[in-house]
């Protein structure tokens, strides 16, 4: 493909991604149509399908960016040599915190944990990380075991994401129950689970979650303004 055409395609995709992020944050995934994304991007409906096969394909691109950023941010918060159990607890709790920021964000994350292409990406990418984090607790487990365990813990996570916190189900209770359910599947002893839970409950993750969402929008804006040939949204897998 000629370089000029390739650059044009990259810019079109970035414009669609930026438009989609804005609309997803305002209206949610389901209410946002491909036509409205194209209109927000200042392009024709046909231009959307020149950039992406469908709305799910666009969401997959966003998921690849979002999930890579969350693991990296959790590691940055805790330091290079952070405890693996605490790293998992912080990253998954950060996801739960993001879904409490707004209902459109909740819907976006629950959808990402539901659609075939996006959930398969989550399984494939996070199961490798889970192996590195929990191999010492499951020394006989192989890649298939961690992949199947990720299916289980992703289902648990999706359920907790979908349930909004309220007076009778505060965020601290959600975090505690979620982490106990997930960490027990990885054979983390109760004392280690409780240490990690107490640690994340003392973290101020709401401003971190807000900054992560704002950063995603900024990255999309920079991608739109990037020099041709420099796509900002690439796979993190």
Please report whether residue 2 resides in a domain. Answer: no
pLDDT tier at 230 (50, 70, 90 boundaries)? very low
The answer to whether position 172 is within a domain reads yes
> Residue 104 belongs to a domain with what CATH number?
1.10.357
- Flag whether 160 is in a domain: yes
Q: What is the average per-residue pLDDT within 3-8? A: 56
Domain assignment present for 71: yes
Q: Is residue 201 part of a domain?
A: yes
Say what the pLDDT of residue 4 is: 45
| Three-state secondary structure call for residue 206 | helix
Inter-residue long-range contacts of 195-199, CB under 8 Å, 24+ positions, other chains counted: 195/85, 195/86, 196/83, 196/85, 196/86, 196/88, 196/89, 197/89, 199/86, 199/89, 199/90
User: Which tens digit of pLDDT belongs to each residue from 57-71?
Assistant: 999 998 987 766 666
Domain count, the chain: 1
Does residue 19 form part of some domain? no
Stretch 28-55: mean pLDDT, rounded?
96
Q: Is residue 98 included in any domain, yes or no?
A: yes
Q: How far apart are CA 79 and CA 17, in angstroms?
A: 31
What pLDDT does 216 receive?
83
Global pTM exceeds 0.85: yes
Q: Give domain status of residue 167, yes or no.
A: yes
Tell me which of 14-18, 148-152, 177-181 is least confident: 14-18
For position 114, what pLDDT does the model report?
97
Residue 111 is part of which domain span? 59-214
Query: Helix (H, G, I), strand (E, B), or coil: what is residue 103?
Result: helix
pLDDT of 159 higher than 50: yes
């Amino acid at each position: 493909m000629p370089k000029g055409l390739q650059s044009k395609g990259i810019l079109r995709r970035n414009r669609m991604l930026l438009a989609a992020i804005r609309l997803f944050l305002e209206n949610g995934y389901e209410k946002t149509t491909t036509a409205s994304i194209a209109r927000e991007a200042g392009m024709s409906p046909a231009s959307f399908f020149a950039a992406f096969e469908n709305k799910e394909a666009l969401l997959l691109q966003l998921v690849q960016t979002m999930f890579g950023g969350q693991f990296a941010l959790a590691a940055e918060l805790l330091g290079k040599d952070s405890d693996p159990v605490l790293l998992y607890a912080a990253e998954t709790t950060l996801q739960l915190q993001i879904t409490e920021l707004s209902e459109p964000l909740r819907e976006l994350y629950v959808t990402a944990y539901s659609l075939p292409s996006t959930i398969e990406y989550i399984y494939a990418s996070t199961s490798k990380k889970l192996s590195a984090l929990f191999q010492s607790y499951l020394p006989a487990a192989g890649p298939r075991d961690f992949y199947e365990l990720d299916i289980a813990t992703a289902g648990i996570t999706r359920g907790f994401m979908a349930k909004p916190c309220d007076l009778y189900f505060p965020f601290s209770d959600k975090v505690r129950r979620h982490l106990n359910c997930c960490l027990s599947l990885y054979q983390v002893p109760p004392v280690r689970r409780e240490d990690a839970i107490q640690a994340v409950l003392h973290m101020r993750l709401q401003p971190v979650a807000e900054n992560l969402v704002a950063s995603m929008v900024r990255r999309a804006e920079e991608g739109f303004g990037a020099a041709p040939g420099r796509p900002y949204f690439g796979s993190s897998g």
